[in-house]
Structure formats: C-alpha cells, structure tokens
Amino acid sequence: MDKINVLIIEDTLAQSDTLVHALEENNYAVVGVATTLTEALSLFYSSQKVDLVIIDIFLHGVPDGIAFAETINAVPNASKPFVFLTSSTDRQIFERAKLTQPFSYLLKPFNELELLYAIEMAVEKFYAQQDVFFGDEEDTVISEEYLFIKKGKSLKKVQITDIIYIEVEEKYCNIITEKEKFVILISLTKILKLLDNTIFCRTHRNYIANLEKIEEIILADNLILLSGNHKVTLSDTYKDIVKRMRTLR
C-alpha cells in the first residue's frame, strides 16, 4: 500500500506549513507546494503522480485556484480529485467554484479532522462512489488505476495491476499483491462492476483472479497457478475462462 500523493496550491506559507504538517502526520505524501497558477500546473503535469490537489481559491488576491481547477478539468482523463481551500464565505466565489464539478471545499480555519474529511469526500465525489469512507459497510474507492483504501484516519492506495487475486469472504475481500496481503471492505458485486473485466475474472464463487498473473491452469485439479506461487480454485461454472485465455495468448 502506498501513500496518497497530494499537491498543495497555497500562497500563504503559514497555511501551507500547517497543511504539510497535518498531511504528513496522517501518512499522506506531499509532492509539492505551489504558490502560483503556473507553478501549480507545471507541478501537476510533471512526472510525479499526483493523486489529489488541495487548492486555495485565492492566490495573491485573485481566484486562480478556480482557474487551476477549470484547467485540469478540461482534460477529463488527466483530472484528479481536488479540494478547494478558502477562508472566504463569499457566496459569489462559491457559486463560481461550484461549477468545477465535483466540488469539495474546506473552510479556513480547519482542524485535522476537517482536512481529512474533505480529502476523503473529494475522492468519493471524484470517482462517483459516495458514502464509502463514512459508513461501516465499505472502505474502498476503486478508480481505474488504484484502490483507495481507508486505513485508520487516512487513505492509502494500491495499484490495481499489482493485484494477483482477490479472495471474497462474505463482505470482506482479501487483496493479495506480490508484496502484501490485506483485507478491504467492499461488496463482491461492486468490485466486479468496478474492476476492468478484461483483466479481472471470476474463477470461483469466492475468487477473482488477475488474468495477467496466471501462470498455469490445471483443469484436472480445478486449480489456477498464479505468479508468486499463489493458487486459486477454478470452479466448473467459470471454466469459460479457459477459452478466453486461449484467445488472449
């Protein structure tokens, strides 16, 4: 599991320091602090992967924060979740900021809990999977690239391509990657719906395997051997998978 990379756009040093401190305290990785719009854009589009942006609406007295959000929203696939940070309760600014959907905001002064809440809210809204982190039933938001998992007070991410297979146990899912193994809270139907079904396939009532990690299929034993010496059961119901394998290879 990796830390979430956060880009901060904030022109007041005291504010950005507080933010960096609070974020790092909660296991977020701050990839940079931009103080202007151009700086922010160059940092955002640089090689380092940014997962989330915290944007102060007013940069040096002008609402460049909104301009930034509008810019990154212009390219849908490159866009990332963002949180507006503002001390202004000015309705007009809010109305304009609100146009950059999805809209999450954090009012200054804020405390640590409010910051974390706003970040989680932004992720949920951005990936259109609301009410994940705040209920008791689920704790994972699935994007195309990552699983965002709530661990304690903060969020973690796991690259989906790293997953070898998923073992479903009632409402839990055991995620097995090459490096680690952990449990997330998500329903089977939801995970099946959200994962790319050209890569992830159900092999058994309780298993979902990453097709790209399959090393061998032993039909006699109803077994699939995966990389890292992992094994999953292949039940009769899902034997169609073999055909797909052939066509794939």
Structure tokens at 61: 């007295």
Binding track, positions 38-77, relative to other proteins; x by CB under 8 A: ----------------------------------------
Are 143 and 57 contacting, i.e. CB atoms less than 8 angstroms apart? no
Bridge partner list, 105: 84
Whole-angstrom Cα distance, residue 126 to residue 217?
38
Indicate the SS3 state at residue 78: helix
Are 122 and 81 contacting, i.e. CB atoms less than 8 angstroms apart? yes
**Alpha-carbon dihedral sign for residues 247, 235, 165, 26:** positive
Are 48 and 78 contacting, i.e. CB atoms less than 8 angstroms apart? no
Q: Which of 134, 181, 197, 205 binds other proteins (CB under 8 A)?
A: 134
Instruction: Kindly state the smallest distance separating residue 91's Cβ from other proteins, in Å.
Output: 5
Binding track, positions 85-114, relative to other proteins; x by CB under 8 A: ----xxx--xx-----------x---xxxx
Identify which of residues 94 and 238 has a Cβ nearer to other proteins in the complex.
Answer: 94
Instruction: Kindly state the smallest distance separating residue 17's Cβ from other proteins, in Å.
Output: 19
Strands 105-107 and 82-86: parallel
Identify which of residues 126 and 207 has a Cβ nearer to other proteins in the complex.
Answer: 126
The number of residues that bind other proteins (CB under 8 A) is 14
Bridge partner list, 2: 157
What lies within 8 Å, CB to CB, of 76 at 6+ separation is none
Question: Would you count residue 25 as binding other proteins (CB under 8 A)?
Answer: no
Q: Which of 136, 170, 216, 236 binds other proteins (CB under 8 A)?
A: 136
Instruction: Kindly state the smallest distance separating residue 93's Cβ from other proteins, in Å.
Output: 8
Instruction: Kindly state the smallest distance separating residue 136's Cβ from other proteins, in Å.
Output: 6
Residues that bind other proteins (CB under 8 A): 89-91, 94-95, 107, 111-114, 117, 134-136
